[in-house]
Amino acid sequence: MKTYRPLPEYLTIKNSKIDGLGLFTNTDIDSDFTIGVTHVRDDRFQDGYIRTPLGGFFNHSETPNCEVINTDDYIYLATIRKITAGEELTAKYTLYKPKA
């Protein structure tokens, strides 16, 4: 019997030096690898998205090792370089649009 896993087996959540909890890899991950869906578009929810467990734990960095990819229905997290086991997954993102 398969059980539900909110994260892929090669990821874990640990204390982050960046902020609170972070998303870490248990194994090496190649560059240009799509880790998974972080958000699902749904206009019934605040800001128009439902955040997945994957989307709830990666932290912001000005020197990220991942990128956020927006499509019409989903937001994905993908690596932009090779990531070594034990490394925290980060992406450059903003939570709001600054006023001009």
**Tens of pLDDT along 25-84?**
999 999 999 999 999 999 998 888 899 989 989 999 999 999 999 999 999 999 999 999
- Own/partner contacts of 50-56, CB < 8 Å, gap of 24 or more, are 52/6, 53/6, 53/7, 54/6, 54/7, 54/11, 54/23
Whether the model clears a pTM of 0.85, i.e. scores above it, the answer is no
11-91: CATH topology: Beta-clip-like (2.170.270)
Structure tokens belonging to residue 14: 């640990």
Q: Where along the chain do its domains lie?
A: 11-91
